Structure 1
Amino acid sequence: MRSSEGMPFSVVTGALWLDLVYTGGEGDRSCWEALHTPTDVAAWAHSSGVVSDPSAVRIDEADLRAAHRLRETLWDMANRLADGKLPTSDAVAHLNAVAQRADPVPQLVLRSGVLELDRGRNADGAQVLSAIARDAIALLSGPHADRVKRCAATDCALLFVDTSRPGARRWCAMSRCGNRDKARTRRRFEKG
Structure 2
Amino acid sequence: MTGPVALPARDPADLAFHFETGRLCLNFTATLAERHGTSFDRWHAPGDLARWCAEAGLLAPARITDKDLAKARELREAIYRLVQARAGGKLTRPVDVALVNNWAAQPVAAPMLDGKGTSITHAARDPLAANLSAIARDAIDLVAGPDLARLRECAEHSCSVLFVDLSRPGKRRWCSMNRCGNKMKKAAFRQRQAAS
Fold match, TM over 0.5? yes
Match of 2:104 in 1: 99
**Structure 1 residue 59, shift from structure 2 partner:** 5.1
Aligned mate of 1:90, from 95, 109, 115: 95
Match of 1:74 in 2: 79
**Structure 1 residue 81, shift from structure 2 partner:** 4.6
Point out where structure 1 has 5 or more consecutive residues left out of the alignment.
none
Match of 1:152 in 2: 155
Inter-partner Cα distance in structure 2 for 1:178 and 1:40: 26
- Equivalent residue of 1:106, what SS? strand
**Structure 1 residue 10, shift from structure 2 partner:** 6.1
Decide whether the 8 Å contact of 2:153 with 2:163 is kept in 1: yes
- What percent of counterpart residues are identical? 36
Decide whether the 8 Å contact of 1:148 with 1:159 is kept in 2: yes
Point out where structure 2 has 5 or more consecutive residues left out of the alignment.
1-8
Match of 1:48 in 2: 56
5 Å matches for 1:179-190? 179-186=182-189
- Equivalent residue of 1:118, what SS? strand
Decide whether the 8 Å contact of 1:14 with 1:161 is kept in 2: yes
**Inter-CA distance 129–184: structure 2 relative to 1 (3 Å threshold):** closer
- Equivalent residue of 1:19, what SS? helix
**Structure 1 residue 188, shift from structure 2 partner:** 6.0
- Number of paired residues? 182
**Structure 1 residue 124, shift from structure 2 partner:** 4.1
Aligned mate of 1:20, from 9, 28, 32: 28
- Equivalent residue of 2:112, what SS? strand
**Structure 1 residue 171, shift from structure 2 partner:** 0.4
Q: For residues 109-147 of structure 1, what are the alpha-carbon distances to aligned partners after superposition, in whole Å with 9 as ceiling and x for unaligned?
A: 267xx9433122433433221111001111222220122
Match of 1:32 in 2: 41
Decide whether the 8 Å contact of 1:73 with 1:95 is kept in 2: yes
Q: TM-score, normalised by structure 1?
A: 0.73
- Equivalent residue of 1:122, what SS? coil
The residue identity in structure 2 corresponding to 1:148 is L
Root-mean-square deviation over aligned CA pairs? 3.3
